[in-house]
Copies of this chain bind each other. A is one copy, B any other.
Amino acid sequence: MSNSFGKIFKITTYGESHGVGIGVIIDGCPAGVKVDEAFLQSEMQRRKPGQSKITTQRKEEDVVEILSGIFDGVTTGTPIALGIRNTNQKSKDYSHIKDSYRPSHADYTYQEKYGVRDYRGGGRSSARETAARVAAGAIAKMYLEQAGINIQAYVSQVGSLKLEKQYQEMDLNKAEENIVRCPDPTMADKMIQHIDDTRKSRDTIGGIVSCVITGTPVGLGEPVFDKLHAILGQAMLSINAVKGFEYGSGFEGVKMYGSEHNDRFETENGKVKTTTNHSGGIQGGISNGQDIYFNVAFKPIATIMNDQESIDKDGNKVTVKGKGRHDPCVVPRAVPIVEAMAALTIADFMLRAKTNKI
């Protein structure tokens, strides 16, 4: 396995869905970051299950305990360990999949790879793991905030319902004012209705989370393999259910001519800027000081409430029952996870950039 992310601001997560608990060690957080525990806990609330009618009704309080690395409200440079106890596991809910492989889940691949698996709730492959990322991401956000960097994600698509407005045209703070986390209230209502309909039909639906990072200095990203967008891409693709990543002009940009796509440099009040930003704030894998923006595609999650045909570990046909408490659409709860992974990526590059010159 590889449960670490980052080169300097490095996290390592642990824990299974239905084990004793989950958590994370942050190794390499610089000393001197002021830590606001209430903010940390509030980030957990944004991700936690049961927060609205369009999320799973499972209840996890996700209280984070700080075990080390913070003293008198400030990071000390030593490893920060954050632990979360699992409190609401209904393990018996999962006995039906002990020997069966749920379609498009990781049951089969884990069993083959390791020869053994903790089948309860998906074990390590469960998206419960992302709670640890959100906790670590909250620390990264506090570090970045002190450097003037802001990260804001929001839902821009649910199924075929696509928000056509660009991020500059909206007040992104409005995203947190509705349960689907779309900054456009009209579209938000439609999305909520669509998710609720999907839930009633015992099905699931996909969506897209968009994210904007403002305030980054010029110089983040480490070519040639750890280009800023390459590691952002890895970070996002490592989140459960993600199928695609694009930044700046993205997939649409392939249709453009170079003469249209190129971002012209100019100076404004002595500061270099570009008149357009198809580059998405990144040139040659390095931030250029403009806004960084990207999209993350989430598939419809695999757990549906309807019965499905599958096989068991011996290859026999079985019917997998639609049981448990799950999200009809993952994107509302994915918003803080995308932000957390973005924050962890940027925090790491902030530190790496300190070593570029003598």
Interface residues of A (CB under 8 A from B): 1-5, 7-8, 10, 12-16, 19-23, 25, 27-28, 30-33, 65-69, 71-72, 74, 76-81, 83, 101, 103-106, 108-110, 112-118, 123-125, 129, 143, 146-147, 157, 159-160, 198, 203-208, 218-219, 221-227, 229-231, 233-235, 237-238, 243-251, 253-267, 270, 272, 274, 278-280, 283-288, 295, 297-304, 306, 308-311, 315, 317, 351-358
Contacts and interface: CB of A to CB of B under 8 A. Distances in A.
Given A109-B284, A225-B2, A357 B27 contact: no
A303 B30 CA distance: 28
A233 B257 contact: no
A155 to B, nearest CB: 11
Question: Which 10 pairs of residues, A with B, have the shortest CB-CB distance?
Answer: A106-B284, A244-B246, A206-B254, A204-B258, A2-B226, A109-B286, A31-B114, A77-B114, A258-B300, A230-B237
Contacts of A104: 258, 261-263, 278-279, 283
Nearest to A132: B224
13 contacts: A14-B69, A16-B78, A21-B67, A30-B357, A108-B218, A124-B224, A203-B258, A204-B257, A230-B233, A245-B246, A254-B300, A258-B304, A262-B308
A80 B203 CA distance: 35
Given A68-B15, A229-B237, A256-B299, A113 B353 contact: yes
A296 B83 CA distance: 35
A283 to B, nearest CB: 5
B230 A356 contact: no
A143 B113 contact: no
